[in-house]
Amino acid sequence: MFKLYTVLLLVTKPLSACCDIPELGDPQPLTECSNPKLPGPCNDVQCVFEKSGFLTNKNTLNKEAYRAHLKKWSENHSGWREAVDKAIADCVDKELRQYLDYPCKAYDVFTCTGIAMLKVIFAQGPPPPPPNLPPNFPPKCLGPPPAVTKPHECCQIPPFFPDEDFAACGFQKLDEDSPERKRGPPDCSKQLCMLKKYNLLVDDESIDEEGIKKFLDDWSTKNEAFKPAVEVAKERCIGKSLFGPPQICEANKLVFCVSSTIFEQCPTWQETEGCTSLKQHMDECKAFFPK
């Protein structure tokens, strides 16, 4: 769990911060599907697609409606035509892979669209810095960090939960290279399953903030070198509005925040060439992105 979220942070956080794709959805469906916010990575995107007429049924994309929407969007957003053409070619005209552990056509199309547009952006070279960036913003921070084969091995974080509990909640280990393995964050139900096992939920989905603090304190007592990192994680992640796209549930955002903070604050960083390069990139760039 911590390994997966750390890799996500290192690769996607700078991209999302520097490549600000304008909102693709229409305001009314977005508003209707966010009040109240629906749980899980599929439900809110599914809601927007249904209300926008992008689905003919739950798992079938209305290709003509979605294609027409993207083309109209590109007419209103100068400079995005090539990215939209790529999204149509990759995500409307082709059969899509499944991104979650269960079928959710809206999520697959939504994710594919973002990836396709980012491919065009980076094929054109690094995007210009947004106007609000400071003059000393390091150019390398506009892109991903240096490639490290197994970045999670740069910090040997002791496990928070035993392997059997991960398996019971449906998690796969990072080194399991099964062709069936899906990319992206785990289904929220898996994360909620793990938190529920340790009585870290107030009800079925609400996080017990005091329970999380006590759990982290107990873990850091057993792993004293990580106590300073845990204190930073508690301050940064618990009871705060957390970074992340709207389709990621709060439980996943919390684990993402805690794991990436402990990784960043790691007291036992490995001094290999790759890990040293990664650490230098993180140290130089972290001040310029939201925590």
180 pLDDT exceeds 70?
A: no
**Over residues 276-282, mean pLDDT:** 87
What percent of the chain has a predicted confidence (pLDDT) above 70?
A: 74
Check if CATH label 1.10.132 holds for domain 2-14+151-288. no
pLDDT of residue 134: 64
pLDDT band at 177 (very low <50, low <70, confident <90, very high): very low
pLDDT of residue 246: 62
CATH for 21-123 (1.20.120, 2.30.29, 3.40.50, 1.10.238): 1.10.238
130 pLDDT exceeds 60?
A: no
Scored b (16 or more CB within 10 A) or e, 3-13 reads bbbbbbbbeeb
Domains of the chain, residue spans: 2-14+151-288, 21-123
Q: Which residues contact 249 (CB under 8 A, 6 or more apart)?
A: 39, 40, 41, 188, 191, 192, 205
Least confident interval from 52-56, 183-187, 204-208: 183-187
pLDDT of residue 266: 93
pLDDT of residue 10: 36
pLDDT of residue 152: 80
pLDDT of residue 245: 63
210 pLDDT exceeds 90?
A: yes
12 pLDDT exceeds 50?
A: no
Please say whether the dihedral angle defined by the alpha carbons of residues 171, 175, 176 and 180, taken in this order, is positive or negative: positive
Q: Which residues contact 85 (CB under 8 A, 6 or more apart)?
A: none
